Amino acid sequence: MILKNFSSINLIIIYFILLCVITSNVCSRPISYPNSWTLMQKYNWEKAQLHVHYSPNIKNSLGILSAFYYNDKAILHAFQWNYLILRNNQKRAQSNLYSKLHLGGIERKTIHNDLKKNRFHGSYSLSYDWETRRHFFLFASALDYEDSSERFSYHQKVRVGIAPYLAPYGKIHTWIMLQLEHKPKELLSENQLIIASFVRFFKGDLLCEIGVDSNNKILFNSIIRF
């Protein structure tokens, strides 16, 4: 009855507000401003992840990461260190090269599907991004190590984005993005190359991304900084 009094546009607005309040910020910045905390949440076809980090300066961030992988019901807990290797500030553009390292343990079910084994898990990745007020480009490549028979795996990601309008500072900013994710070691061929399109919104210290991938799976990321 109450819902009947709302127009569909009101419901969409309420939905997005709730979405932002419940989850809040993931993005372009693996390191925040000096002496700040960042909470990053990721939800996609592969995993649900939560990452909390502290940035003592603009070059480093140290944090804890936890993820749950749906396919093999694996749980990862790790320490993560992000480092800004290089930043190039230009008049109308900025580019960054980051290194990201995480070391921790992953708990997977055995082939008998009952016992769990905790194994060492590490990952090192390099990520390059370039952006103007209108365009965005990102390339990231990661090498993962796990103490198991298939020790090494790698994956890479490309993102391109365009801002449909240029909002002034402090207003809601919107980006339309396309992402290609290449995971050659995935068992299912449909998961080896995943294309996702999504919309990124941000305002103030809050950012969220929502979209859908080529397997019709929902993608939702969010970040909040404080």
Partner 1 sequence: MKNLIHILIFIFTSIHTNAAGLYDIKIHVKGLVCDFCARSVEKTFGKNKAIESIAVDLENGIIGLNLKENTGITEEEIANLVKSSGYAIESIEK
- Which residues form the interface with partner 1 (CB under 8 A)? 27-29, 32-34, 36, 57-58, 87-94, 131-133, 166-171, 173, 202-205, 207, 225
Count Cβ atoms below 10 Å from residue 164 Cβ, excluding itself: 9
Shortest approach of partner 1 to residue 22 CB, angstroms? Answer: 19
Pairing of strands 193-203, 218-225: unpaired
Q: Which of residues 95 and 192 has its CB atom nearest to partner 1 in the complex?
A: 95
Shortest approach of partner 1 to residue 63 CB, angstroms? Answer: 18
Q: Which of residues 87 and 117 has its CB atom nearest to partner 1 in the complex?
A: 87
Shortest approach of partner 1 to residue 192 CB, angstroms? Answer: 31
User: What is the rounded CA–CA span in Å between residue 96 and residue 93?
Assistant: 10
Shortest approach of partner 1 to residue 88 CB, angstroms? Answer: 8
Shortest approach of partner 1 to residue 58 CB, angstroms? Answer: 5
Pairing of strands 36-43, 47-55: antiparallel
Please, what is the Cα angle at 35 between 32 and 40, to 5 degrees? 40
Q: Which of residues 76 and 84 has its CB atom nearest to partner 1 in the complex?
A: 84
Q: Which of residues 133 and 185 has its CB atom nearest to partner 1 in the complex?
A: 133
Distances, alpha carbon 122 to alpha carbons 75, 93, 147, 178, in Å = 13, 33, 9, 28
Q: Which of residues 167 and 218 has its CB atom nearest to partner 1 in the complex?
A: 167
Q: In the Cβ-directed half-sphere of 81, how many Cα atoms lie within 13 Å? A: 7
